[in-house]
Chain A
Amino acid sequence: MSDDPRTPPTETPVMSTLPAGDAAPERKGNWLARWWSSKSMKRFRRNPLAIVGLIIVVAFAVIAIAAPVLTTPSRSCLRDLGLTAATADGYRDVTNPAFYKMMFQTPDTCYMMPRVGYSPIPQPAETSGTLLGTTSQGYDIFYGLLWGSRTAFRIGVIVVGIGLLLGILVGATAGYLGGWIDNVLMRFTDMVIAVPALVLALVIVMVLGNSIVNLMIAIAAVAWPSYARLVRGEVLRVKELEYVTGAQSIGRRPFGVVVRHILPNAIGPILIVASLDIGSIVLTAAALSFLGLGPELGYADWGQMISFARNWILGPPGQPLAYWYTSFWPGLVIVLFVLGWNLLGDAFRDVLDVRGNV
């Protein structure tokens, strides 16, 4: 998945955005070694904040992947994995098909936080027998946090994917064809950018209905314009290069020129910049979910967990911080996640020098 922020392996499209002086790295070793010793990577490695960001993001990715093994799923999840009470540990067994189902074809029921009782009052770790306590209605906070990171990556990766697809479609068309088509498409893009993202997403989720899929559609619908701008800018730059003129002159159709010749050389830096958006996309998703416009009740999702905490700000008389764990843990996890992506994004945008308004 794109939790790995490395440059795409082929060619050196990233290099193409660097000043001419930087574009000649030593031609020793394979692409990995070349990439590692490239000037932009050296700049990246020297930046301590970027390294901290990288560590945070990688840690979240590991947690997201390992979540099934680190938590005990609910009974309905086990049922959907085809496990019985006798074989309940099967999802941790590498030789059991249930393990692979849990990893790659996770049933939706496994994303539901298991409930430790149905008490309307949050329970601390000691009395509930869970690691970090429960929210109101008995949802296990630890399970929610770990599986929430899975949800976060799922939302982030899928939304960036859809957004990129739309952005490339619009941006490449506008940039390559130019003229009035360019004008119309880009003005439309400007208009979508002009509407506050949360408001537009609010309208879309309301119209489509609450679910995690609709949440992703809504966020992708507000995320694509910035990619469209980036793609258009890069296409405008690449389209003037000689080999493109060459391809055109031997009679390649426009679609072929764009897909085979222009995009492969324009897309590298954009892919990276877009994947670094995962932080802010997860943030928007959590915000909508906090407002009650996210996945269904009980789905492991950080925004929803924070909204559970809203009613438990005040403790009982004499113990003002009695329910601190309901807001502290989900909040901390979101902050760390966004922080990691922001640090990483900052460093990479510096290194790649990609700007929106080309």
Chain B
Amino acid sequence: MFTFIARRLVMLPIVFFGVTVIIVLLMQLLTPAQRAAAYIRSENQANQIPQIIQQYRLDEPWYVQYGLWLQRLSEGDWGYSRTTNEPVLTTLQKRFPTTAELALLAILPVIGVGIFLGTAAALNRDGFIDQFVRVLSIFGWSIPTFVMGIWLLVIFYGLLGWFEPGRISTEYVVQIAQGGFQRYTGMMTIDAMLNGRFDIALDALRHLVLPVITLATVQSAQIMRVMRSSLLDALSEDYVRTARAKGLQTTVVNRKHARRNALIPVITLSGFVMIGLINGVVITETIFNYPGLGQWAAQAALSLDYASVLGFAVFTAVVVVIANLLVDVLYGVIDPRIRYA
């Protein structure tokens, strides 16, 4: 197991290298002056562009620029975000917990609903539940995130007034701004509870309901489909029939023999779910005006804020690489054949 993980860890920098090279090569489509914009902090610096190009050596061949860029990245100089008016790294640190809060809460329904309904459908093949789940998953899979988000807002914000967009209500923003509210983790719900402010925690949770549903729908639908079909495959295997023939209880056969093997394709998919969540976060946060990384990246792309978009892209690349590593390790844990291959 140890060598397996070690081997995977070696792959990590290689993938990171490849992804960042792609991004830096794309940036070569810009002029050096445009690339220099990533390091400009105020309008007064506009006439210093030649100096900035000199200082950061932005007119050198791309591989020199790549090396220098990597070096600056490792030194913590990720450029300056004009969208948030602070260094890119600071914005990443500030906004990451906010997005993580949304994504983590979205993973729960994705896994829970997806696996639960997928299993239920497969065990009741062609029954009512199965038909219901199949229709549900086809619709969930076909509703684009941005349509879903807008429709939810029209109904639950416009018509019913139950939930609002944004992170927390204005009254609490004012209260927090007045001081006395400690930020421990950066995740609003947890911080509020640690501060003993359960009213704020509840308010923060209320603001998360619609974004979480929006973000989770597509992904749950996918997990549901894969879970259903792979469990159906597993149920028709010889070892399941053998287990039944031995006289084992149906629930034991389903749980221990069939479902465990059926989970392997679901784990494969979970790497893609991670990618789907990152894509979804950009859209969902924009719709719900939720102050996370995705909203920042979308805003930055609109205002040609290269430093921010690059920072976001590099960050997501790292997240995806780590997620894929976790998926691989999980594989190894579940399926010994992979460990020893």
Chain A residues packing against B (C-beta within 8 Å): 49, 187-188, 190-192, 194-200, 202-208, 283, 286-287, 290-293, 303, 306-307, 309-310, 313-315, 320-321, 324, 327-328, 330-331, 334-335, 338-339, 342-343, 346
B15 within 8 A of A: yes
Chain A's closest residue to B319 (CB) is A196
**Interchain CA distance A190-B151 in the complex, whole Å:** 35
Interface residues of B in 1-45 (CB under 8 A from A): 15, 18-19, 22-23, 26-27, 29-30
Complex partner residue of B278 from A199, A283, A306, A327, CB under 8 angstroms: A199
B193 within 8 A of A: no
B282 within 8 A of A: yes
Instruction: Give the chain A neighbours of B159 by CB distance below 8 A.
Output: 320-321
Chain A's closest residue to B27 (CB) is A207
Given the known A-B contacts A203-B23, A331-B147, are A287 and B154 also in contact in the complex, defined by CB atoms under 8 Å? Answer: no
**Interchain CA distance A117-B190 in the complex, whole Å:** 50
**Interchain CA distance A181-B306 in the complex, whole Å:** 33
Q: Is the CB of A194 within 8 A of B321?
A: yes
B67 within 8 A of A: no
Partner-contacting stretch, out of B85-93, B252-260, B294-302: B294-302
Q: Is the CB of B301 within 8 A of A194?
A: no
Partner-contacting stretch, out of B107-115, B136-144, B170-178, B196-204: B136-144
Q: Is the CB of B141 within 8 A of A199?
A: no
Given the known A-B contacts A204-B26, A207-B26, A207-B27, are A199 and B312 also in contact in the complex, defined by CB atoms under 8 Å? Answer: yes
**Interchain CA distance A237-B112 in the complex, whole Å:** 39
Instruction: Give the chain A neighbours of B158 by CB distance below 8 A.
Output: 313-315, 320-321
Q: Is the CB of A291 within 8 A of B282?
A: yes
Complex partner residue of A327 from B151, B282, B310, CB under 8 angstroms: B151
Instruction: Give the chain B neighbours of A315 by CB distance below 8 A.
Output: 158
Q: Is the CB of B30 within 8 A of A199?
A: no
**Interchain CA distance A310-B310 in the complex, whole Å:** 27
Q: Is the CB of A342 within 8 A of B142?
A: yes
**Interchain CA distance A263-B283 in the complex, whole Å:** 39
Majority-rule SS of A interface residues: helix
User: Which of A313, A315, A328, A346 has the most C-beta atoms of chain B within 10 angstroms of its own C-beta?
Assistant: A313
B317 within 8 A of A: yes
Q: Is the CB of B29 within 8 A of A286?
A: no
The list of the 6 closest CB pairs from A to B, nearest first, reads: A191-B18, A339-B142, A331-B147, A198-B279, A196-B278, A338-B142
Q: Is the CB of B279 within 8 A of A196?
A: yes
Q: Is the CB of B22 within 8 A of A192?
A: yes
**Interchain CA distance A320-B144 in the complex, whole Å:** 24
**Interchain CA distance A202-B282 in the complex, whole Å:** 10
**Interchain CA distance A204-B27 in the complex, whole Å:** 9
Chain B's closest residue to A207 (CB) is B29
**Interchain CA distance A204-B23 in the complex, whole Å:** 9
Chain B 304-341, CB-CB to A under 8 Å as 1, else 0, gives 10100110110011001100100000000000000000
**Interchain CA distance A310-B149 in the complex, whole Å:** 10
Chain B 145-183, CB-CB to A under 8 Å as 1, else 0, gives 111001101100111010000000000000000000000
Complex partner residue of A286 from B144, B279, B304, CB under 8 angstroms: B144
| 16 new A-B contacts at CB < 8 Å, known A286-B146, A291-B282 | A49-B138, A187-B18, A192-B22, A194-B317, A195-B316, A195-B320, A196-B320, A287-B279, A287-B283, A290-B283, A291-B286, A306-B146, A309-B150, A321-B159, A335-B142, A338-B144
**Interchain CA distance A205-B306 in the complex, whole Å:** 12
**Interchain CA distance A331-B138 in the complex, whole Å:** 16
B192 within 8 A of A: no
Complex partner residue of A200 from B141, B144, B150, B313, CB under 8 angstroms: B313
Instruction: Give the chain B neighbours of A331 by CB distance below 8 A.
Output: 147, 150-151
Instruction: Give the chain A neighbours of B320 by CB distance below 8 A.
Output: 194-196
Complex partner residue of B138 from A198, A206, A290, A343, CB under 8 angstroms: A343
Q: Is the CB of B18 within 8 A of A188?
A: yes
B275 within 8 A of A: yes
B287 within 8 A of A: yes
Q: Is the CB of B150 within 8 A of A310?
A: yes
Complex partner residue of B141 from A293, A313, A342, CB under 8 angstroms: A342
Given the known A-B contacts A207-B29, A292-B302, A314-B157, are A194 and B282 also in contact in the complex, defined by CB atoms under 8 Å? Answer: no
Instruction: Give the chain B neighbours of A287 by CB distance below 8 A.
Output: 144-146, 279, 283
User: Which of A206, A303, A315, A343 has the most C-beta atoms of chain B within 10 angstroms of its own C-beta?
Assistant: A206
**Interchain CA distance A45-B336 in the complex, whole Å:** 42
Q: Is the CB of B297 within 8 A of A199?
A: yes
